[in-house]
Structure 1
Amino acid sequence: MTKSPKITPMLQQYLELKEQHKDAILFYRMGDFYEMFFEDAEIASKALGITLTSRNNKGDANKVPMCGVPFHALGTYLGKMVKAGHRVAICEQVQDPKEAKGIVQREVVRIVSPGVTTDDQLLDEKTNCYICSLTCCKKYGKGILLGLSFLDASTGIFLLTEFLDALEVYGELVDIITRFQPAELLISETTAQDYPDVISTLQTVLPGLCLTTRADHIYDLEQARTTLTEHFQTANLGGFGCDQLSCGIRSAGALLAYIQDTQKASLNHIQTLRTINKDDHLIIDEASRRNLELTETLIGGVRSGTLLDVLDCTTTPMGARLLKERIISPLNDETRITRRLDAVEELCSNPQARKQIRDLLAKVYDLERLCSRLVLGQGNARDIAALKTSFQQLPSLAQVLDDFTTVLFADISQHLDPLKELCTLIEVSIRDDAPPSLREGKLICEGYHERLDHLIHLLRDGKQLILDLEGKERQKTGIAKLKVGFNKVFGYYFEVSRAQASLVPEDYIRKQTLVNAERFITPELKELENEISSAQEERLDLEYRLFTEIRDRIAAESNRILQTAHQIARIDFLTSLAEASAKYRYCKPTLNFTNEIQIQEGRHPVIERSLDSGRFVANDVFLDQECNQLLIITGPNMAGKSTVLRQTALIVLMAHLGCFVPADSASICLTDRIFTRVGAMDDLRRGQSTFMVEMNETANILNNATENSLVILDEIGRGTSTYDGLAIAWAVAEELVNKNDIGIKTLFATHYHELTDLAISNTRVQNYSIAVKEWNDKILFLHKLVKGATNRSYGIQVAALAGVPGHVIQRAHAILASIEQGEFDHHGKPHQTVKDASGKHQPCQLQLFTSQTDALRDLLKENKPDELSPRQALNLVYELHALMKK
């Protein structure tokens, strides 16, 4: 019979704490290590790649699996655990071991999870780390009311929304979730049970999403409302514009309660709750964000090669995060867009001031995350020193901004708090060379605290103080040979020779008699000795206490710090747009209200960066609601059709972002949504074929696009048979032109040349093509968009350029010639085999279109039934029968 391991008081304490945090790996502080036991140790040893040992090695029955990591390397190991998808409960000693009677008291001081962390090693400084809370409230026919909230614990950003979404599709849910890319999803136990398809959908589009379930009661409406109003100290939520969003409130209240429970500290850095209002922004759905490669590439999912990568000239983490957020959610308000454009123009026209701003911002640290760490009680002296360095740049920054005149910069200047008193506090209190640990001392500047100065003086000059006392006593007693000595038994003492012992004062206390000398102590000597011997410990305790007081004073001003951080992010964002615009020769776009998109010499902002200067071929694009509503663009693969489509969408997006655009000139109408159907790719995560992906995205466009939208379509219908694909493409094009009798501005690239006939019957459809030059059966891509259609795709020539073997190319030419010559009967069977270049007979493939020469049809055309005699009609039947046998 196997015996259970012996449970010591320490293990008993561990098990009690573990019982309270069953869903987390418990990092249990023991001296200089965090230890893990039992199953936690087995999991952690694998995740961290550390040795699994055991406690109590006297017998197998008493072995307890264990492993540990040094406390000073917590950040590194914590990062590995969280990236592996684990939640970690940090358990610290909250009692001085000297004061403990029995086991030292310990408590879990915080819980770290993929979506809730403030550690630098776990965070990407240019990306927000969100945790999302989702609640499903009510069903309405084929839809469901959803509440969503997002919180970045490292910056204090807190958002919520609610909306009605279609059951089983969850299109808007996916769009919003993928926009914020949360690392963790919080959901109630009931929702998890009742809506497994919701969770499945989200885990499909966000692989690695950490799922956390919570008790239903924290999603109760009144409890959630109380949690929010108590935190923000308001009577209601009307000031946040969400008082009537009951489903959103459930979600946000549950999320805030979760953060309070896991961080076990003040959350003063969460100072407001913003409602997500999609009407204020140009909407870009998940498929369009992916197709346009706004923040990550289609292949590889990396940042390099995206619009964000090109425009990111930011110098602060706050500015980088704001840029990413605004690229994903551009504006849809003429006044706000114009103000941004004017501010960017002012920066572009003043390169010297722009350089000054960038140089100052380069010395500013991540104020948002530094402030969050201080509020949560996790900041160290280096964090505060980074705040000081950042604050020191503010007066100069404000001075440079005073010279700017645009509305946006006036608003920024008004709200840019220089934080002078906080900067002064840090300058006089925190040492520049302070260590990261708070228990090693050397945190506080001399001159800040009188008692600390005295302790530092004792530690630094203790020996000299003893010698000074020796001199003082010689002078007072008149004993010229009085000297200070030290041993381990008495500590410091005064030694006097036998001959001068009679001169010793009465307050001297004899401690030892030697052959030739006497040794004495005095109260003053013992007091000084005690002060020196205890000075180090007292200094460490005092410095820690003073530091936490200073940290709390700074954290109490978190509202001001975060407000300043936001203004710096705005400055950095605008400066980044101006820097990119000046560097890459972008122009200021104008906004129009005539529903036109007019781009002169437009360029793709990403592709042109990968080419040598001057190699990119610019193109004009004009769209309106009158005569140029749907442009059908034909031309061979690799000629640049997709580039023209994408660059048009990106230029429209950049204009709504408030950025200059890659063109000689551009006039852009306000656009409510950008839709793209570009490229063909299976979505294996969702079990969808290429064609299904095409049709899902096409359906979304047809159902949701308005006359104020821009639609980009590339190769609709190519995922199915030729005739089906052509039919679908034709019907989609007609719908886009005729929808609501107004139509939608659309760029439609296709290889179905039959679609060009639409321009004959509809004056709002125009044909364009990408020009190529033919020479010796080869083609040269000119990459120029020209008026008029083309009737060739040059597929075989493109295949040759791609390196397809020569004999395959020759065979393709032979088959194409057979198709064009109509060497097939009305059943699609070859009249004769076709010889390849070697003279061998090869079977002909079926023709794609009806042959122009068909003997059966010709014979029927030559005879008119009403004019045939019975004899002639019988002869005709025989002739037809003979043709059938051929």
Structure 2
Amino acid sequence: MAKNKSEETPLMQQHKAIKEKYPDAILLFRVGDFYETFNEDAIIAAQVLGIVLTKRANGSASYVDLAGFPHHALDTYLHKLVKAGHRVAVCDQLEDPKEAKGIVKRGVTEMVTPGVAINDKLLENASNNFLAAVHFGGDVTGVSFLDISTGEFYVAQGNIEYIDKLLQSFKPAEVVFAKQQQKNFRATFGTRFYTYTMEEWIFTNTYAEEILLKHFATHSLKGFGVEGLTAAIIAAGATLHYLKDTEHPHLQHIAAMQRIDQDDFLWMDRFTVRNLEILNSSVENGHTLLKVLDNTVCPMGARLLKRWLVFPLRDIHLINERLDTVAFFIRETDLAHALRSHLKQAGDLERLVSKIPLRKINPREVLQFARSLQQVQAIQQLLNNTSNEYLSQLNGKLDPCATIMDRILQEIVENPPALVNKGGIIQEGINAELDDLRRIANSGKEYLLQIQQKESEATGIPSLKIAFNNVFGYYLEVTNTHKSKVPAAWIRKQTLANAERYITPELKEYEEKITGAEEKIQSLEIRLFDELLQALQQYIQPAQLNAQLLGRVDCLLCFAYNAVQYKYRRPNITDSYQLEIKDGRHPVIERGLPAGEAYVANDMLLDKTQQQIIILTGPNMSGKSALLRQTALITLMAHMGSFVPASSAEIGLTDKIFTRVGASDNLSGGESTFMVEMNETASIINSITPRSLVILDEIGRGTSTYDGISIAWSIVEYLHDMTPHKPKTLFATHYHELNELENKLDRVKNFHITNKESGNKVIFLRKLAPGGSRHSFGIHVAKMAGMPPQLLQRANEVLAQLEEKHIEAPLQKNVKNLTVPTTKLQLNIFDAHSDTFKEMRDMLESVDINRLTPVEALLKLSEIKSILK
């Protein structure tokens, strides 16, 4: 039965009114010393937090579900709720209950969602916590990324593929978009993200520009380099609106927007970022490039390194600027060591700054802020007169903010409490009134003892004592035995069975001083701390810049450390189209090798004139995929400005790295292994440029042998002859028929990974050598995997028959129970004189792959299949 408003208690009426404003959030409702949740919120809170669910009366004849926790445990429980994917509205008491007339005034002071978090327990030091907004603008999609905990704000726009790559690279904790785009968003980006939808009117250009101009207090957006990027501007405006909606009015630390321009960075689509295991491993707790390279020592550096990894540079000057600085640090070991030591002590300056405008910074953090500025000052002194041009320019931008740093160190005590209301924050000598109050409070007991001793001696009452109660304050207590000795000037206040209580003018006068001293001290300390926070506001931007610059120094020091520790060498970035690596190693695999085992290094040469495409064959588990990946990773590391795991590397400037590695179904999207494979490969074919590096591993494996070989063969031909770009390509395959391409195409070369057979064992030598391989040793790998001996013996029998007949004639009758067709299992379709092959080849040559849709590609494959039949 529905409850009448009159039946509800005033408290529940207040709760209901506030809850109606935040229907999709769990409302933490402050009642005294507890945060309470009611009704549906209480049921969720009890389940997620493991707290007791109870019931309480709500008016005349109704009850509500209730679950709560102590207010001082807010950080712990808030963390659990948000991590569980819930939006949380924190409703606080807005006035002192002692002074309230009627019910205490309450209101939501903070809204916390996965993408809007500043609490340390909700954040990871080494990772940003981005809120993203996506605007679908027809042909162009806009996106923005904002981390409220650091103040970083990025915008971009482009096609869906570009936005998808950005979303994977930034890994936002939450994505917001228009309600009407829910189906579109899920169809485009899947269900990988925590999402929230907003009204359509928010995603308009007029509103977006209005809210952005108001926030930045500018007349136009030209200064941010986003003029004309309508879709990106709309996404940015939606982000700021969301912050406004979630009770975040103080955003002075968000002082700029940065445009992400695709042309500034080496492009890697989301498949490449995944396949190269840059940020995430395909196995649980596996190593990644990030994990291997991250030897940063401060949080700003750790977060920046992650961004450098997914956005490598394309400007040779900027790359060499980093490489020169890394080389400088390797030479100047004492300087590098000293800088790392100061960076370790700098703490998370970037996130400390962001707490200032939000008024979420506590006394302990304010002191750490000052100590971080001390490290900035020390680093600036170390870099004075440096011979490195990049560091010299960077050093000129550092600002220790000496005035506020000195003020904090003078005003805040050495070991302040974390909470302002705990008191004991401000040092002595800062405020005369505060010092007087502290003397009164601290010397009160001593002074009272002096009064007690003085009056005891004057009256001859040995048992005289001073005490306090809330009725009449401090008093002198005299037992009935000695009450005849009480002076006439004392004023009797209370008679007890065995004693009398008195006050004196002197005691009353002192009581007025000491009563409330602690409250006055607390109030005064809070006021002085607020004044300090107000003074800090004007140092937000210079302190943010300091944090960004420290992050850069940390990353470059990290590169220098890695180069020395792991024997990396400086790559030579050129304007040529050649990639030449001597003694290259896989940076991740070599770090995971058992102690004492050396990584087998390999050379690699790719260019546009002699060796554009390498067909790589070799046994299973021999190291083909590792060689492919290490080539891409070395190229990537060089463009980051890092030294690389090789004895030398000449790397022509690369604008895109594409990889198609492994096979995986997209079952939720209704796509087979082969469809996923073709989608990814088509994306590569349609996006290549003359400076692209293409890594293809086992293309065509997801379909029948005939189809697979046909597709693989035609892809190689296309990359060689049918596109003017001639991209550098590594193509690993088990289709040994592709080795014939070396004789047909000038710039295709065959290589294989070597092995040695010893008895019935195969030893993988993991060394690259010219020439193709004809054996995959699949049965040997099956044996290593633990297949039963009878199964392996049978497999060898079948293999012998197939090899003997070259799979062109029917198998011998003694090969029994074989369920596969026994005629023409593996037709040699690449005989140049075959009419079948000629017809198929003519068909493939007539296809314009750049205009071919996935459906049309499948239809063509069906035609080819019918020809072969």
In structure 2, the residue corresponding to 1:571 is in which secondary structure? helix
Change (3 A) 1:3 1:22: closer
In structure 2, the residue corresponding to 1:392 is in which secondary structure? helix
- Structure 1 residue 34 corresponds to structure 2 residue 29: no
- Structure 1 residue 65 corresponds to structure 2 residue 47: no
- Structure 1 residue 160 corresponds to structure 2 residue 155: yes
Deviation at 1:584, TM superposition (A): 0.3
Conserved 8 A contact 1:4-1:62: no
2:205 paired residue among 216, 221, 241: 221
String of CA shifts for 1:115-152, please: whole Å, max 9, x gaps. 00001111111111111111122x3xxxx221111111
Deviation at 1:39, TM superposition (A): 1.5
- 1:834 is aligned to 815
Question: For residues 225 and 615 of structure 1, what CA distance do their matches in structure 2 show?
Answer: 58
Question: For residues 477 and 281 of structure 2, what CA distance do their matches in structure 1 show?
Answer: 82
Conserved 8 A contact 2:132-2:144: yes
Unpaired runs of at least 5, structure 2: 835-869
- Structure 1 residue 397 corresponds to structure 2 residue 379: yes
Conserved 8 A contact 2:203-2:238: yes
- 1:129 is aligned to 129
- Structure 1 residue 80 corresponds to structure 2 residue 80: yes
Question: For residues 379 and 199 of structure 1, what CA distance do their matches in structure 2 show?
Answer: 38
- 2:248 is aligned to 264
Deviation at 1:457, TM superposition (A): 1.5
- Structure 1 residue 199 corresponds to structure 2 residue 182: no
2:647 paired residue among 661, 664, 678: 664
- 1:874 is aligned to none
Change (3 A) 1:842 1:368: closer
- Structure 1 residue 187 corresponds to structure 2 residue 153: no
* Correspondence list, 1:288-299, <5 A: 288-299=272-283
Change (3 A) 1:568 1:791: same
Amino acid in the other structure paired with 1:291: N
Deviation at 1:520, TM superposition (A): 7.6
Question: For residues 227 and 242 of structure 2, what CA distance do their matches in structure 1 show?
Answer: 21
Conserved 8 A contact 1:380-1:436: yes
Amino acid in the other structure paired with 1:642: S
- 1:254 is aligned to 238
Deviation at 1:320, TM superposition (A): 0.3
Change (3 A) 1:463 1:748: same
Deviation at 1:821, TM superposition (A): 2.4
2:167 paired residue among 177, 186, 211: 177
Change (3 A) 1:471 1:807: closer
- 2:656 is aligned to 673
Amino acid in the other structure paired with 1:720: T
Amino acid in the other structure paired with 1:834: V
Question: For residues 405 and 848 of structure 1, what CA distance do their matches in structure 2 show?
Answer: 69
- 1:341 is aligned to 323
- 1:529 is aligned to 511
Greater Cα offset, 416-425 or 682-691? 682-691
Deviation at 1:391, TM superposition (A): 2.2
Question: For residues 493 and 672 of structure 1, what CA distance do their matches in structure 2 show?
Answer: 86
- 1:287 is aligned to 271
Conserved 8 A contact 1:645-1:747: yes
Deviation at 1:498, TM superposition (A): 10
Question: For residues 621 and 273 of structure 2, what CA distance do their matches in structure 1 show?
Answer: 22
Question: For residues 819 and 669 of structure 2, what CA distance do their matches in structure 1 show?
Answer: 41
- 1:630 is aligned to 613
Deviation at 1:261, TM superposition (A): 2.9
Amino acid in the other structure paired with 1:313: N
- Structure 1 residue 363 corresponds to structure 2 residue 345: yes
- Structure 1 residue 12 corresponds to structure 2 residue 7: no
In structure 2, the residue corresponding to 1:393 is in which secondary structure? helix
In structure 2, the residue corresponding to 1:244 is in which secondary structure? coil
Question: For residues 197 and 758 of structure 1, what CA distance do their matches in structure 2 show?
Answer: 43
Change (3 A) 1:673 1:585: same
2:754 paired residue among 757, 771, 777: 771
Question: For residues 804 and 675 of structure 2, what CA distance do their matches in structure 1 show?
Answer: 35
String of CA shifts for 1:469-528, please: whole Å, max 9, x gaps. 7899999xx9999998446465446899999999x9xxx67457999x999866554232
Conserved 8 A contact 2:460-2:485: no
Deviation at 1:581, TM superposition (A): 1.3
Unpaired runs of at least 5, structure 1: 858-886
Amino acid in the other structure paired with 2:24: D
Conserved 8 A contact 1:34-1:69: yes
- Structure 1 residue 150 corresponds to structure 2 residue 126: no
Conserved 8 A contact 1:819-1:847: no
Deviation at 1:260, TM superposition (A): 2.5
Amino acid in the other structure paired with 1:93: Q
Greater Cα offset, 788-797 or 407-416? 788-797
Question: For residues 91 and 334 of structure 1, what CA distance do their matches in structure 2 show?
Answer: 53
Conserved 8 A contact 1:337-1:658: yes
Change (3 A) 1:543 1:484: same
- 1:100 is aligned to 100
In structure 2, the residue corresponding to 1:704 is in which secondary structure? coil
Question: For residues 437 and 746 of structure 1, what CA distance do their matches in structure 2 show?
Answer: 60
Question: For residues 574 and 135 of structure 1, what CA distance do their matches in structure 2 show?
Answer: 36
Deviation at 1:424, TM superposition (A): 1.6
Conserved 8 A contact 2:401-2:539: no
Question: For residues 742 and 768 of structure 1, what CA distance do their matches in structure 2 show?
Answer: 23
1:848 paired residue among 804, 825, 830: 825
- 1:44 is aligned to 45
Change (3 A) 1:289 1:264: closer
Deviation at 1:389, TM superposition (A): 2.7
Amino acid in the other structure paired with 1:38: N
In structure 1, the residue corresponding to 2:195 is in which secondary structure? strand
Q: Which has the larger radius of gyration?
A: 1
Question: For residues 845 and 542 of structure 1, what CA distance do their matches in structure 2 show?
Answer: 94
String of CA shifts for 1:616-637, please: whole Å, max 9, x gaps. 1000001111001101111111
Conserved 8 A contact 2:699-2:708: yes
Question: For residues 499 and 62 of structure 1, what CA distance do their matches in structure 2 show?
Answer: 63
Question: For residues 19 and 329 of structure 1, what CA distance do their matches in structure 2 show?
Answer: 43
**TM-score, normalised via structure 1 length:** 0.87
Question: For residues 500 and 63 of structure 2, what CA distance do their matches in structure 1 show?
Answer: 60
Figure out how many residues of one structure are paired with residues of the other and give that number.
822
Greater Cα offset, 478-487 or 211-220? 478-487
Greater Cα offset, 409-418 or 281-290? 409-418
The CA RMSD over aligned residues, in Å, is 2.9
String of CA shifts for 1:617-661, please: whole Å, max 9, x gaps. 000001111001101111111111111100000000000000000
Question: For residues 103 and 384 of structure 2, what CA distance do their matches in structure 1 show?
Answer: 61
String of CA shifts for 1:559-599, please: whole Å, max 9, x gaps. 12111111111111111111111110000111112211110
Greater Cα offset, 397-406 or 377-386? 397-406
Amino acid in the other structure paired with 2:149: S
Q: What's the % identity of the aligned pairs?
A: 42
Amino acid in the other structure paired with 2:142: G
2:723 paired residue among 740, 743, 747: 740
Conserved 8 A contact 1:834-1:843: no
Conserved 8 A contact 1:630-1:747: yes
String of CA shifts for 1:388-438, please: whole Å, max 9, x gaps. 332222222222223632222112211111122222222122233332233
Change (3 A) 1:237 1:771: same
Conserved 8 A contact 2:8-2:58: no
Change (3 A) 1:15 1:760: same
- Structure 1 residue 274 corresponds to structure 2 residue 258: yes
- 1:782 is aligned to 765
Conserved 8 A contact 2:575-2:653: yes
In structure 2, the residue corresponding to 1:681 is in which secondary structure? coil
Question: For residues 768 and 825 of structure 2, what CA distance do their matches in structure 1 show?
Answer: 28
Question: For residues 386 and 679 of structure 1, what CA distance do their matches in structure 2 show?
Answer: 48
